[in-house]
Amino acid sequence: MLKQRVITALVLIAFLLPALFAPIAWPFALLSLLMITAAGWEWGRLNGAGGASLLVGVAVAAACAAALWAGWGDAPPRLAWWVAFGVWVLGGAFVLRGGPQAWPEVPASVRCVLGVLLLCTAWLALASAKTIGVNFILSVFCLVWAADIAAYFGGKAFGKRKLAPGISPGKSWEGVWSGMLGALALAAFWLWLDRSFRMDSLSLYGRLYSGFGAAGLVLIVVFLAAMSVLGDLFESLVKRAAGAKDSSHLLPGHGGVLDRVDALLPVFPIAMALITL
């Protein structure tokens, strides 16, 4: 299993890094579009679409392509970020409160449409972040990764109180707090990078510090780390409701695309919303 995970990760990195550092936006937009289309197919499978799951993926691809054709990759409507903000914060809390047993009671068509909208908004935020600059998009990626890694090790070392045992039994409150501390440590380090080296763009942390000061930066980074946990829990809830361990087996050793991007889905559009203030 470990060998499979490493090989898959290396293959993904081999495609991701050239697209990410390309001087033009379309290679990353295309690669991320392929990934988010696969995530749409997985979402359909987990939410009762059955044989029409492929159509959910096609709907995601078509909506994203239409947004790109309309020029939203370079000049996205800011309202989209704030709608996503409200859906994730209010809707996410409502869904988690209901638990896995309540999710199947929502009509499958509604669940599929919701998935298409959330995935498309996340992809648009990814594409827009790439147009801002590599330093900016990497700083958002790394916030999620740092929070996840710190939460894993913090939970292993100190975890006692379960966060959501009915959804994801392995997560603890101590892990969440560790993830927030990890994200804050990364923010401090990245601010130093912004000041010490010439980057192609200002990082997320530099933008937040300039707009909100040190206290605002701390609050927002903690909030974004919390939203990454919400994204992870939301996907775990959907999988548990469907009786599935992984969203698919597209990525050997890792599960599916949704398993790898779940924490990113709320963070990117919310980060894009906050930098517009």
In a domain, 20, yes or no: no
In a domain, 204, yes or no: yes
Query: Sign of the C-alpha dihedral, residues 131, 151, 253, 118?
Result: negative
In a domain, 12, yes or no: no
The conformation of residue 253, written as its DSSP 8-state character, comes to T
Q: What is residue 48's predicted lDDT score, i.e. its pLDDT?
A: 87
What's the whole-model pTM score?
Answer: 0.94
In a domain, 31, yes or no: yes
Q: Give the range of the structural domain holding residue 136, as residue numbers without chain letter.
A: 25-274
Percent of the chain with pLDDT over 70: 99
Q: What is residue 24's predicted lDDT score, i.e. its pLDDT?
A: 83
What gap in Å lies between CA 26 and CA 54, rounded to an integer? 24
Q: What is residue 97's predicted lDDT score, i.e. its pLDDT?
A: 92
In a domain, 17, yes or no: no
In a domain, 266, yes or no: yes
In a domain, 264, yes or no: yes
**What is the tens place of the pLDDT at every residue in 207-245?**
999 999 999 999 999 999 999 999 999 999 999 999 999
In a domain, 54, yes or no: yes
DSSP secondary structure string, 57-76?
Answer: HHHHHHHHHHHHHTTTTTS-
User: Total structural domains in the chain?
Assistant: 1
Which stretches of the chain score pLDDT less than 70?
1-3
Q: How far apart are the first and last CA of the chain?
A: 45
